[in-house]
């Protein structure tokens, strides 16, 4: 605050209140819709005061899809993606910052380019590889001629479908290296003296990783965990494709299936109740972990 | 590539440490990306069993199709709309939050939360709000004589998906602008104030120029968001319609590949998208590099 300008401050508060109201209105409207019986949600205009059917509508949404199961699937998917990305990134960042080895630069660039292409861009071939994750291996065996030695029998038997599985929901989304670069940048700021001291004390690289690097990285890990959890929870296109069994899909996809079409009594109240259930977990995570969330954002992207 | 002075000596260990990362990206990143390139230059039979090399035919077909240009145009309008609305509101909200003394933390929490809402759910919320029959906004618009039906009117459909997508992105831009604003040294602003510069003048001549790096960075991020992450909004709200008005590129890749089963065209479109996103990334890195030099 540079000067005490009461008028400007008043204006700022009015603007912010209006802004917050605009940002919050869709959620409030959804909440009201979710709490009304169907006759009232279809009234034009819909009442703007909440009713008393929230739990009932949530229960209906729960029954229509396989909501309980889908919530668990979302939680598993988001947690595995966050944990998986963080784990493999911690390890690979350690490898490229603290070691010199042949093809180090190649590995660095191989990981680096994955930053550029989101899964949406290569969606069709990624789906194909998920339908048989051994396809690259089969191709390798055929091209190198190894398979010919066995009369083509190996590639014929190499089948590993990830459709309708947790591996399919998570692995393709783990395959990008955002976290690797965050950790690499962080490792580079750690004084070399620490590694030197660890070496003098006779600690091997893994000991150094576990006792020095990991504890120092906890803030980064927490920040990244929040962002990656939200990222995983909110995935839509990929779970939509990879799962056909409603009990294997995620809650976000489940809610989209609740959007009413042109039926005589469109159950918007149920759709909104389902929507609230699906958006609450990540919203709570962000609000409760706000500090880490902001830190993670500003650190990863810059 | 900057390295460490002190390093551990081992040949096997680093490769072992890299193995999980490399395995995942080889199978689920490089292989599919390579396949996209391969398929873009081939034509598959309907069962996807045999591929015939057709050179640039898929691309030629693409760039001779009016639908593709329509999709390019829809993407341009959509992403420009999302970027302008969400950057503008994000900056204003951040500037005011930075200005006020009381309630800062509360405002922050109230503005941040839409970040955590999945794009597809944002679409569902906004569709409900703007539904031509049941939505309260359609009702209000009808009262003042505007016929609102985004399911039939293409401009209104575009407006609706832009609003839903921008709403979700405002919180993200807000976080960065606020961080950028708080990094501006108070002393500079105080000096200007002592020289008699009013708040608006200070904002225009000091704050905005100092925020250019943040703004440029956010512009790229917002474009990437509008290009790729908004699939769910389109899929839930308009299905690319009405009449292809909101058929943005990423939705078209999906629709042509999975519904139309036209692998060659879908792959060619993937390649075009890859080129777009790589150019955006390179642009951003060049800019950030410059930023490092000039502080």
Note the pLDDT tens digit of each residue in A117-159: 888 888 888 998 998 888 888 888 888 888 777 777 777 777 8
Q: Cβ–Cβ of B93/A16 closer than 8 Å?
A: yes
Residue of B2, B4, B19, B28 for testing the chain A interface, max A β-carbons within 10 Å: B28
Phi and psi at residue A99, to the nearest 5°: -130, 155
What does the domain layout of chain B look like in residue ranges?
Answer: 78-245
Q: How far is A153 from chain B (nearest CA, A)?
A: 18
Question: In chain A, which residues have their Cβ closer than 8 Å to the Cβ of B124?
Answer: 255-256, 259, 271, 275
Given a cut of 60, is residue B293 above it in pLDDT?
no
Give the phi and the psi of residue A61 in degrees, each rounded to 5: -60, -40
Residue B291, pLDDT score: 53
Predicted TM-score of the model (pTM): 0.91
Cα separation, A239 vs B120, in Å, equals 12
**The pLDDT value given to residue A302:** 42
Does pLDDT of B279 surpass 80? yes
* pLDDT for position A273: 93
Cβ atoms within 10 Å of B178's Cβ, excluding its own: 25
**Contact assignment for B110 to A290 by CB distance below 8 Å:** no
Domain ranges of chain A: 70-252+294-299
| Region A230-248 average pLDDT | 93
Q: What are the φ and ψ backbone dihedral angles of B8, each rounded to 5 degrees?
A: -85, 145
Packed helices B154-182 and B119-129: angle between N→C axes, nearest 10 degrees:
120
Q: Which two tokens stand for residue B225?
A: 């968001």
Q: What is the pLDDT of residue B5?
A: 62
Domain A70-252+294-299 has CATH 1.10.3720.10: yes
Q: Which chain A residues contact residue B129 at CB under 8 A?
A: 25-26, 29
The set of residues, in sequence order, having a beta carbon less than 8 Å from that of A93 and lying 6+ positions away, is A179, A180, A181, A183, A184, A186, A187
Q: List the structure tokens of A174.
A: 């783990």
β partners of residue B53: B42
Q: Would you state the structure tokens that stand for residue B269, as one six-digit string?
A: 């479109």
Pick among B97, B121, B249 to test the A interface (most A CBs inside 10 A): B121
Q: Does domain B78-245 have CATH number 1.10.3720.10?
A: yes
CB contact under 8 A, B15 and A101: yes
Q: Encoding tokens for residue A231? A: 């990222």
Q: What angle, 0 to 180 degrees and rounded to 10, lies between the N-to-C axes of helices B263-294 and A123-131?
A: 120
Residue A300 pLDDT: 58
- Give the pLDDT band of residue A201 (cuts 50, 70, 90): confident
Q: Please judge whether A23 and B170 are an interchain contact, meaning their C-beta atoms are less than 8 angstroms apart.
A: yes
Give the mean model confidence (pLDDT) for residues B91-110: 93
Give the β-pairing of B51-53 and B42-44: antiparallel
* Residue A231 bridge partners (DSSP): none
CB pairs under 8 A between A and B: 321
Percent of the residues in chain A that have a pLDDT greater than 90, as a whole number:
47
With an 8 Å Cβ cutoff, are B103 and A266 in contact?
no
């Amino acid at each position: 605050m540079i000067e005490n300008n009461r008028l400007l401050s008043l204006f700022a508060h009015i603007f912010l209140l209006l802004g917050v109201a605009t940002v919050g209105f869709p959620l409030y409207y959804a909440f009201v819709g979710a709490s009304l019986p169907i006759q009232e949600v279809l009234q034009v205009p819909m009442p703007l005061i909440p009713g008393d059917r929230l739990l009932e509508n949530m229960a209906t949404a729960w029954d229509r899809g396989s909501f309980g199961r889908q919530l668990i699937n979302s939680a598993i998917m988001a947690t595995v993606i966050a944990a998986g990305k963080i784990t493999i990134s911690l390890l690979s960042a350690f490898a490229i910052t603290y070691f010199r080895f042949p093809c180090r630069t190649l590995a660095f660039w191989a990981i680096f380019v994955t930053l550029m292409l989101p899964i949406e861009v290569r969606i069709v071939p990624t789906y194909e590889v998920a339908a048989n994750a051994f396809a690259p291996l089969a191709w390798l065996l055929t091209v190198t001629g190894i398979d010919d030695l066995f009369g083509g029998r190996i590639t014929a038997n190499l089948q590993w479908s990830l459709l309708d599985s947790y591996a399919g929901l998570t692995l393709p989304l783990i395959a990008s290296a955002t976290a690797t670069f965050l950790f690499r940048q962080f490792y580079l700021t750690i004084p070399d003296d620490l590694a030197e001291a660890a070496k003098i004390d006779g600690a091997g690289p893994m000991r150094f990783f576990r006792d020095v690097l990991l504890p120092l990285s906890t803030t980064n890990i927490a920040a990244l965990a929040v962002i990656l959890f939200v990222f995983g929870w909110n995935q839509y296109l990929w779970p939509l494709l990879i799962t056909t069994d409603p009990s294997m899909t995620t809650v976000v996809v489940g809610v989209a299936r609740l959007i009413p079409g042109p039926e005589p009594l469109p159950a918007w109240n149920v759709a909104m109740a389902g929507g609230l259930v699906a958006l609450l977990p990540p919203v709570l995570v962000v609000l409760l972990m706000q500090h880490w969330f902001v830190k993670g954002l500003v650190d990863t992207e810059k | 590539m900057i390295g460490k002075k002190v390093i551990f000596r081992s040949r096997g260990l680093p490769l072992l440490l890299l193995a999980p990362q490399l395995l995942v990206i080889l199978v689920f990143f490089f292989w599919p990306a390579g396949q996209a390139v391969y398929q873009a230059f081939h034509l598959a039979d309907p069962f996807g069993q045999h591929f015939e090399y057709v050179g640039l035919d898929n691309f030629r077909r693409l760039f001779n199709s009016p639908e593709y240009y329509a999709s390019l145009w829809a993407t341009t309008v959509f992403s420009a709309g999302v970027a302008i609305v969400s950057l503008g509101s994000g900056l204003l909200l951040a500037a005011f939050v930075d200005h006020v003394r009381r309630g800062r933390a509360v405002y922050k929490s109230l503005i941040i939360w839409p970040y955590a809402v999945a794009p597809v759910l944002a679409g569902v919320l906004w569709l409900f709000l703007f539904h031509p029959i049941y939505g309260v906004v359609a009702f209000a618009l009808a009262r003042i004589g505007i016929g609102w039906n985004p399911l039939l009117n293409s401009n209104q459909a575009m407006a609706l998906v832009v609003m839903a997508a921008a709403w979700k992105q405002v919180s993200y831009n807000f976080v960065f602008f606020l961080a950028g604003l708080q990094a501006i040294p108070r002393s500079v602003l105080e000096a200007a104030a002592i020289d008699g510069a009013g708040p608006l003048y200070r904002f225009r001549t000091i704050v905005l120029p100092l925020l250019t790096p943040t703004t440029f960075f956010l512009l790229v991020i917002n474009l990437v968001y509008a290009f790729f992450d908004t699939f769910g909004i389109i899929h839930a709200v308009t299905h690319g319609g009405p009449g292809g008005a909101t058929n943005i590129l990423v939705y078209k890749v999906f629709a042509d590949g999975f519904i139309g089963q036209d692998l060659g065209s879908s792959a060619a479109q993937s390649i075009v998208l890859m080129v777009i996103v790589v150019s955006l990334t390179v642009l951003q890195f060049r800019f950030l590099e410059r930023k490092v030099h000039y502080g």
